[in-house]
Amino acid sequence: MTPEQKFESVAEELAQHAGVTLGKMMSSPGIQFNGKNFAFFYQDQMVFRLGREWKPEENGIRDWKHLSPFKKKAPLYDWYCITAKDADLWPNLASKALSRMIAGK
């Protein structure tokens, strides 16, 4: 399964939840809750809004970075780019990101 197919699988599964729709973020396919993005597919990786307190290393992820789409601005520290090496973790991470959105964080 390609990284894009894995993203599509995750997106389709989450779209079964009330309030979850598919959309765009930064011209990339994304997943939204009540119109706000919490995950999207970007440069063969999946990006999740998990909050600054979330620690990738504590979740077994070593190959990650913060989303940094701007040349002259700081990274978006609430957002984590997780490579396809950890694609097996994408469904769980997407669920965590959705849970944060539902909780209003």
pLDDT of residue 87: 94
- pTM value? 0.92
In the chain, where the domains are located? 3-102
Distance CA 75, CA 54 (A): 15
Which strands make up the sheet holding 64-67, listed edge to edge? 20-25, 28-33, 36-42, 45-49, 76-83, 64-67
- In degrees and rounded to multiples of 5, residue 69 shows phi and psi of -85, -10
Contacts of 71 (CB under 8 A, 6+ apart): none
CATH tag for 3-102 (out of 3.40.50.300, 3.40.50.720, 3.20.20.70, 3.30.1460.30): 3.30.1460.30
Strands (E), the chain: 20-25, 28-33, 36-42, 45-49, 64-67, 76-83
pLDDT of residue 26 exceeding 90, the answer is no
User: Residue type at 56?
Assistant: P
Residue 65 is predicted with a pLDDT of 96
In this prediction, residues 24-52 reach a mean pLDDT of 95
Q: Is the pLDDT of residue 105 over 80?
A: no
Q: Which residues pair with 35 in a beta bridge?
A: none
pLDDT at 67 over 90: yes
